Each structure stands twice: as C-alpha cells, then as structure tokens.
Structure 1
Amino acid sequence: MRRPSEPPALAVVSDALQGLSDTVAGVEDDLLASLVVLGEPDAQRSVDGWVDQVVDLLRAVDEVASQHRATLARARARQPAGAVGDLADQRDPQLADPLSSEQP
C-alpha cells in the first residue's frame, strides 16, 4: 500500500539532494584541479586510473541525485493545491508563503 507523501518533507529531501549534487560537483572540480604529474609512466597510469574511477563515481552519484530530484518534483506537482499550504502552515509559516517578509 502506498503511503501519501508529505509535501514539506519532499522539499526537504529535494534540498538535501541539491546540496549533495553541489558538494559532489565541488569535489570533482577539486580532484581534477589537483592532478599530480609523477613523471613515471606506470605510476602515472595508476593515479590517472584512480582519479578517473573516482570522477566517474562522483558523476554517477550526481546523476542519481538529479533523477531523484526530478521524481520529487513530479510528486510535489501531483499534490493537491491546498495540501501543500495546509501542512506547511502547521510546521513553519514561511514554508506556506515563502515570499512573505513579515518580521515579528
């Protein structure tokens, strides 16, 4: 039996996945920027191969996170219009109306 999703939780998970993607992209950039030139062909091939594997893994993690974000966006789009605001009001009024700038 499918359980109904909780709209604010979908947004939180989506934000966490976006943070993961941002971190993975930063790690990939840092790793590629710090390639070491060893001068010895066998050692260089080993290091290059390891770096390639890690970069491939980071890209795969980012791809899966992107797919999950797309799924979450579709799930949020299917939520009834009133459901998102009602649950958000119970947790945090700013989630119900993120554009409101009223300060207490």
Structure 2
Amino acid sequence: MRRPSEPPALPAVSDVLHSLSDAVSRAEDDLLASLVVLGEPDAQRTVDGWVDHVVDLLRAVDEVAGQHRATLARAQARQAPDDDPVVVAPADDSTHVASNASPLDASVDQP
C-alpha cells in the first residue's frame, strides 16, 4: 500500500520542477538567440534541423515538468487540512511558444 508523500515535501518538489522549467525556458531562448545564418543551404538545413530537435526536446521536458507540477498541486490540495487553504500556481506558463510552432519561424521574423 502506498504511503502519501509528506506535505512539506510536495512544495519543495514543485519548486524544483518550477526551477527546471525556468532553466529549460532560458536554454531555449539562448539557443534561439544564438542561431546563426550560414551561407551554405545544406549546412543551414542541418543546423536548423538540429536546433529544431533540441528545442522540441526542451519543450517536451518543460511540458512534462508542468504536468508533474499540476499532479503535485492536486496531491498537496488533497493532503491540506480544511482550515489551511493551498494556493496553487498554474502549471501552464503562457510565456512559452506553442509547441506546434517551429522555433525557427519565430526567430526569422526578429531583426
């Protein structure tokens, strides 16, 4: 039989996951900001493909971290006493680009 997690541990894990999401978001921004334009079409396609794969991976990590934060928030709400309301931060951060958008499309329009 599973034992419930200790309530003090849930916010700590949520904080770690939030920090992970922040780090992933910064890494994605840094990667897109450092995207270079090459003169060679084949080399450019290779670099663009690599960047697309890495950004997709970073977005997937962020999405899974958000799902785990939401699960932890629900678990924390169930474990909280009735007289101790739990304030839950939203798991979805609207600052991220939609996952179906190509990161290279967003970087092309920027000067």
- TM category (shorter chain) comes to 0.7 to 0.9
Query: Which one has the bigger helix percentage?
Result: 1
Which secondary structure state, in structure 2, belongs to the residue aligned with residue 6 of structure 1?
coil
Contact 2:7 2:79 in 1 (8 A): yes
Identify the residue that residue 7 of structure 2 maps to in structure 1. Answer: 7
Identify the residue that residue 72 of structure 1 maps to in structure 2. Answer: 72
Q: Which runs of 4+ in 1 moved over 3 A?
A: none
Contact 2:7 2:80 in 1 (8 A): no
Identify the residue that residue 43 of structure 1 maps to in structure 2. Answer: 43
Q: Specify every segment of 5 or more residues in structure 1 that has no aligned partner in the other structure, as ranges.
A: 85-104
Task: State which structure, 1 or 2, has the greater radius of gyration over its C-alpha atoms.
Answer: 1
Which secondary structure state, in structure 2, belongs to the residue aligned with residue 49 of structure 1?
helix
Identify the residue that residue 89 of structure 2 maps to in structure 1. Answer: none
Shift in Å, 1:80: 4.0
TM-score, length basis structure 2:
0.72
In 2, Cα distance between equivalents of 1:63 and 1:15: 15
In 2, Cα distance between equivalents of 1:80 and 1:12: 15
| Corresponding pairs, count | 83
Aligned residues: percent identity?
Answer: 80
Identify the residue that residue 29 of structure 1 maps to in structure 2. Answer: 29
Shift in Å, 1:2: 1.0
Shift in Å, 1:3: 1.3
TM-score, length basis structure 1:
0.76
After superposition, the CA RMSD in angstroms is 1.3
